[in-house]
Structure 1
């Protein structure tokens, strides 16, 4: 990830309406991503095979919920309605979740770790080009709340108990990768703030070529996550 825009000499980024629109898009996406994560963790808890697992997922959902308000507050400080900022991002996120609805507990675990990891990596990458305050807020909001360790532990144990699970989940992980890349590309291309920031060269070093490099790094991190789960990409 590159240094923030402050180190690139961008003195007053919010004086640029394209830059401000891009930040609003990013924060709107991050906020709605957290809302969506809370919903799905709560749903996943219903499939949990044990009370211990159910309680753990509900605790993670509560931790995700607590991260939403600071992003909503920041959007308000930027002079926009936070819910209006989130609304245009709903369709893309909801389409991804509709296309990748897990069929069982194991698929829900992999999706929570791999699917969310892909989306979060994209917004961390973009945030690396933004002002320090925005970057810190995005990174803090997307910090793991214990979900990664929980998922890795459960999935590895499941594969050890039944090796047939591994092959199925490896295919599931590849499907998640394809759907997530499609989603992030569509958001980057269709949101005026983000597309204007990239295409119109509002930040030094951020262009379509850089986006391609980002996707390469995101793909590598996906492979690493799959490896931690004991799955081949």
Structure 2
């Protein structure tokens, strides 16, 4: 199945699928994208290459956009994974420098999107802040703002970002962004200013997308996220980009 959706609607990405049932739940609940972990050492949702390829295929069949979520920093290796699995977005979820983004942009098919995570600590600091312009020039299509904890953990921490501290970072961005970090249906009202920023494109959720009993993605939980965060469409201030449409 192939559909195209413009990023004027709030995107919902659920992250950390590991079994086909996760894909089925995400699709049934109205998610747009599913994050598939590979190259995340010790990660609870880590997939081997065969598992990544299988779930990426299942996601495409279900009408979801599969996103490779990785700590890897070798552009040639990453490009090979993209070709082997057919993923259309790559999310660099560690501290890869702008040079890696540039080399990856040159190595990937033109239609493949690159998402670079910006790690915001609980005091509002962002280690990548001085490099934002360099990441943009290197070929980043989309940023993802996520929490870095005081003990150094990154990715699916379940820790919430302070909306007031986020708004201080947003003027530095000339690319659109997704929001992550402890998001839930209940805390949506606190992010009103962020959601109405012209660069906002959607949310990326792991913990709140899961059934607390099974630990798997839950239709009820993902549906609640979709209802709470999709508060209407807005016209992006940033020009539309071919890679920033969901071709699934």
TM over 0.5: no
Scaled by the length of structure 2, what TM-score is found? 0.25
Q: Highest Rg: 1 or 2?
A: 1
Scaled by the length of structure 1, what TM-score is found? 0.26
Query: Quick check: which one's strand share is greater?
Result: 2
Structure with greater contact order relative to length (CA < 8 Å, sep ≥ 6): 1
Query: Quick check: which one's helix share is greater?
Result: 1
